[in-house]
């Protein structure tokens, strides 16, 4: 198989296979080209990975590339270069020989050591291997760092999962608490409503139990002399309120304000009621004396019975109706003082005789 290439293209000249290539040489060449291609691809990948140093090429890599170019260049070009070097060396030797024949000793030319293809390839391979080892170490360190970061990310993921689990449990507990709170709020609202209704009923019961209505107050406090039919029932209710109000006055913290107010109000109503009975009895007794009536009405008896709770008012009524009437209290006091004086006199005489 014959390959055609442009002799004016240096790259084509370098990469073109040598003429009359044997199958073994072709296989070796293709293997070397594949290795070179692999190395070139790897270098390209590293160059792309390190964009910051994309324009800088290491000395070892540059030398390796030059060595690879020298190794895989065409034999004709290499041979031509070697022949040129040899001719130059021979010319130098001729010059030295001419100088020797003339009897002149020239300066020694500096020796130049030209590396052979095997030594250059070995050095290039060594440099490439060193670069690869460095890259491998850097990659290993990077891998270890990535592994450590990955481990930390796994730990963090576990922690986040636990936090999510706890948050879910807290959210569920919060939901249950909210449901329980709703039922408690409903119960509290019903209890609050029941408390308001109870307080309202207590207030209404208190007002009905410890206060007089307008008709009862009018019957007791009116300026009319006549006693209306429900006057005595209003007086009875006032006395009952006054007696039951003592319960409000016997609290642990002392008398309550409500008890004091009720006691003061009922006392005022009772005083006005007694005054009204006093005035009405005085008027009725005058009528009985003027008309000489012997029959006493039930209302009069009830009024006298009520007024007997205040003996002073009853005595004033009898004094106004009966001339020379002495109150029973005064008679009792006089009798008591007389008996005491007689007892002391008898006791004194007995002591004197002994």
- Listing DSSP states for 270-336 in one string gives HHHHHHHHHHHHHHHHHHHHHHT-----HHHHHHHHHHTTSHHHHHHHHHHHSTT---HHHHHHHHH
- For residue 80, the model assigns a pLDDT of 47
- Section 19-27 average pLDDT: 76
Q: Is the pLDDT of residue 309 over 80?
A: no
Tokens of residue 195, six digits: 């408390």
Q: 19-33, 118-132, 255-269, 278-292: which has the minimum mean pLDDT?
A: 278-292
- For residue 98, the model assigns a pLDDT of 46
- For residue 150, the model assigns a pLDDT of 86
Which has more confidence, 3 or 304?
A: 304
Taking a C-beta distance cutoff of 8 angstroms, is the pair 212, 268 a contact? no
Helices within the chain (DSSP H only):
10-15, 23-49, 59-71, 75-102, 117-210, 214-221, 231-249, 257-291, 298-307, 311-321, 328-353
Determine the 3-state secondary structure of 217 from DSSP: helix
Q: 34-48, 106-120, 153-167: which has the minimum mean pLDDT?
A: 106-120
DSSP category for residue 9? -
**pLDDT tens track for 219-228:** 888 877 677 6
- For residue 248, the model assigns a pLDDT of 66
- CA-nearest of 30, 48, 28 to 38 is 30
Q: Across all residues in the chain, what is the average pLDDT? A: 71
**pLDDT tens track for 79-92:** 445 445 555 545 54
- For residue 63, the model assigns a pLDDT of 62
Q: Is the pLDDT of residue 321 over 60?
A: no
- For residue 167, the model assigns a pLDDT of 93
- For residue 93, the model assigns a pLDDT of 46
**In 29-51, which positions are buried (b, 16+ CB within 10 angstroms) versus exposed (e)?**
eeeeeeeeeebeeebeebeeeee
- Section 157-184 average pLDDT: 91
- Section 325-352 average pLDDT: 69
Taking a C-beta distance cutoff of 8 angstroms, is the pair 262, 241 a contact? yes
- CA-nearest of 32, 124, 16, 130 to 73 is 16
Taking a C-beta distance cutoff of 8 angstroms, is the pair 272, 221 a contact? yes
Q: Residues 112, 116, 117, 123: is their CA dihedral positive or negative? A: negative
Provide the pLDDT confidence category of residue 208 given band limits of 50, 70 and 90: confident
Instruction: Please classify residue 262 by burial: count the beta carbons closer than 10 Å to its beta carbon, then call 0-12 exposed, 13-18 middle and 19+ buried.
Output: buried
Provide the pLDDT confidence category of residue 14 given band limits of 50, 70 and 90: low
Orientation of helix 117-210 relative to helix 59-71, angle to 10°: 140
Taking a C-beta distance cutoff of 8 angstroms, is the pair 225, 283 a contact? yes
- For residue 163, the model assigns a pLDDT of 94
């Amino acid at each position: 198989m014959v390959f055609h290439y442009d002799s004016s293209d240096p790259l084509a000249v370098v990469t073109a296979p040598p003429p009359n290539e044997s199958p073994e040489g072709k296989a070796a060449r293709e293997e070397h080209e594949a290795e070179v291609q692999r190395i070139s691809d790897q270098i390209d990948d590293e160059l792309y990975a390190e964009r910051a140093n994309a324009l800088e090429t290491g000395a070892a890599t540059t030398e390796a590339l030059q060595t690879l170019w020298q190794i895989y260049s065409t034999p004709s070009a290499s041979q031509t270069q070697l022949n040129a070097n040899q001719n130059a060396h021979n010319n130098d030797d001729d010059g030295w020989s001419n100088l020797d024949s003339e009897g002149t000793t020239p300066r020694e030319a500096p020796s130049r050591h030209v590396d052979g293809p095997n030594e250059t390839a070995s050095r290039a391979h060594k440099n490439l291997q060193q670069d690869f080892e460095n890259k491998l170490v850097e990659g290993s360190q990077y891998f270890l760092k990535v592994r450590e970061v990955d481990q930390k990310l796994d730990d963090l993921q576990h922690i986040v999962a636990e936090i999510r689990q706890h948050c879910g449990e807290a959210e569920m507990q919060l939901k249950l608490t909210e449901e329980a709170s709703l039922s408690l709020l409903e119960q509290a609202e019903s209890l609050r409503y029941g408390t308001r209704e109870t307080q309202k009923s207590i207030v209404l019961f208190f007002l009905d139990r410890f206060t007089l209505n307008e008709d009862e107050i009018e019957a007791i406090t009116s300026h009319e002399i006549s006693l209306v039919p429900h006057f005595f029932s209003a007086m009875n209710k006032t006395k009952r309120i006054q007696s039951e109000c003592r319960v409000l006055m016997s609290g642990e913290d002392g008398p309550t304000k409500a008890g004091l107010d009720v006691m003061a109000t009922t006392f005022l109503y009772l005083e006005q009621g007694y005054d009204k009975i006093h005035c009405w009895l005085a008027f009725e007794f005058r009528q009985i004396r003027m008309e000489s009536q012997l029959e006493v009405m039930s209302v009069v008896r009830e009024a006298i019975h009520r007024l007997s709770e205040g003996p002073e008012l009853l005595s004033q009524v009898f004094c106004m109706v009966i001339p020379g009437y002495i109150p029973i209290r005064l008679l009792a006091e006089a009798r008591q003082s007389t008996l005491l004086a007689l007892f002391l006199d008898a006791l004194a005489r007995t002591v004197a005789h002994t």
